[in-house]
Amino acid sequence: MNRKDFLKSSTLFGAAALVLPTTNTFANNLADNSIDKLVDANGNYIHQTLPYSENFLEPYMDAETLHLHYTFHHGGAVKGANKDLQMIKKALDENNLETVDFWTKKLSYHFSSHILHSIFWTNLTNKSNLPKGDLLKRIEKSFGSFDRLKVLIAATAKNVDGNGWGIVAYQPYSDSLVVLQCENHEKLTQWGAIPILVIDVWEHAYYLKYKNKRTDFVDALFNIINWDNVALRLNDALKLTS
Ligand code: MN3
C-alpha cells in the first residue's frame, strides 16, 4: 500500500468505523503479527489477554499494580469505547445529534486509551535488551544517539502535567521518529504519528509501588522495555506508509 492509498483508506476507515467491520490494512497487519488486536470482526472493541502473567515484570512493575491497571483501567477504557460507539450509532439511528459531540469526545479518550495500553503491555518484557538494526539507525538519524533518545523520552514522560504518556512515534509526514508528550490519552499528538513506544505515567501505573516518585518509575521502566517489540512496530509503520 502506498502513502496515497494509506491516506485514502485511513479516511474511509474513519468514516466507516461505525458501521463496517475492520478491513483496514494497519489493523490487519497488527493482528497478523499477533502484536495486538483491538477490534473484532464486527468492529467492536475487545480486550486481549495480557501476553504474560501478572508477576512477569516484577520487581520493576508489581503484580498488583499490573492486575488493577490491566483489568480496571485498560478494561474500563474498552467498555467505555464500546458504549461511546453505541451511543453515536443510536444518535445517528434516531437522527438526534444533540449529544453526539460528547460521545465523540469520549470515544477519542477511551479508544486512545485502549490503543496506548495495548501497545504498552507488549512494549515491556522481563529481560533487558537494546535497540539494534534499522531501529537503532532510525534513532540515531532522528535524535543523534540512543542515549539522547533515552534522555529525551525520560524527561518528556516525567514532566507530563497531570495524567498522560511519553510516546516515541514514527511520523510518516516527516519520515522521522518523534517524541510526544501526551496529556490524558488523546491530547498533544501530531496527526499521522504512529506510536511505537509508550510510557504510561498516569498515577495508576505506579502509585502502589513508587508512591509519588514518578521519576523512579520511569527510570525503572528502562530495565524492562522490549526494544524488539519497538522494532517490530517501527517495521510495521514503515511498511504501512512506504
Ligand atoms: Mn494506564
In the chain, the domains with their CATH numbers are 8-122 (1.10.287.990), 133-241 (3.55.40.20)
Distance of CA 120 from the midpoint of ligand 1 (Å)? 9
pLDDT confidence of residue 28: 53
134: CA distance to ligand 1 center in Å?
A: 29
Ligand 1 ion: nearby residues, β-carbon < 5 Å = 73, 200, 202
With bands split at pLDDT 50, 70 and 90, how would you rate the model's confidence at 12? Answer: very low
**What is the Å distance from ligand 1's center to 1 Cα?**
33
19-77 per-position pLDDT tens digit? 344 445 555 555 555 557 899 989 999 998 898 999 999 999 999 999 999 999 999 99
pLDDT mean over 139-153: 98
**Single pTM value for the model:** 0.87
How far does the centroid of ligand 1 lie from the alpha carbon of residue 180, in Å?
16
Between these two residues, 15 and 97, which has the higher pLDDT value? Answer: 97
Tell me, in angstroms, the distance from the centre of ligand 1 to residue 48's CA. Answer: 15
- Per residue in 100-130, pLDDT tens? 999 999 999 999 999 999 999 999 999 889 9
Amino acid at 155: A
pLDDT digits (tens, 9 = 90+) for 203-229: 999 999 999 999 999 999 999 999 999
| Cα 61 to averaged position of ligand 1 atoms, centre (Å) | 13
3-state secondary structure of 103: helix
Query: How far is ligand 1, taken at its centre, from the CA of residue 163, in Å?
Result: 9
Mean pLDDT value across the chain: 89
> CA 62, CA 144: separation in Å to the nearest integer?
34
Nearest CA to 73 among 123, 110, 119? 110
Residue-level pLDDT at 109: 98
